[in-house]
Amino acid sequence: MDRKIYLMLCFVFGTIFFGESMVGYTYNEVVNKYSNENLRPMGSIWIGGFEIKSLSLERQNYRVMYTFDRNNICTTSSILVKNKETLQEFIDFYNERYTNVGSDNWVSEKNILCIKLFNKGTVPTFQIRSCSN
């Protein structure tokens, strides 16, 4: 029961704060939301008899990769930024809407979503996940 409440909160707050994150959404909800865009399945892997799926959404200035757990719930969104201007736009967005908790780390209200910036100097990648993981 707690897991269902938690996933629902992730779904609601993920939508409000940053739609690209999709943490807490099901595989089908992500597919339906981006059905008119450049969304494509990526290779699945099998772990312990469960299929772990992923999707890639291509945008002009960034790419989003969604990873799903064995229950087809999105657990992580990774945003690969293609240029410095877009990187700064994401940083400004997170600085305005999230709490900065250290160098290149942000958390949403009530610590539901955690965002971390990796590889700032090479291929900047934001990882968005549940703070409880």
- Give me the mean pLDDT over the 77-104 stretch: 94
User: How many C-beta atoms lie closer than 10 Å to residue 29's C-beta?
Assistant: 15
Mean pLDDT over each residue of the chain, to the nearest integer:
84
- At 55, give phi and psi (nearest 5°): -130, 155
Q: Is the pLDDT assigned to residue 72 strictly greater than 90?
A: yes
- At 116, give phi and psi (nearest 5°): -135, 135
Q: Which tokens in the block code for residue 84?
A: 């410095």
Q: How far is CA 20 from the centre of its chain?
A: 6
Query: Can you give the pLDDT at residue 20?
Result: 66
**What's the whole-model pTM score?**
0.79
Q: Is the pLDDT assigned to residue 26 strictly greater than 50?
A: yes
List 76's β-bridge partners, or say none.
67, 129
What does R_g of the chain's alpha carbons equal in angstroms?
Answer: 14
Q: Is the pLDDT assigned to residue 10 strictly greater than 50?
A: no
Q: Is the pLDDT assigned to residue 122 strictly greater than 70?
A: yes
Q: Quickly list H helices, 23-133.
A: 27-33, 84-97
Query: Can you give the pLDDT at residue 47?
Result: 82
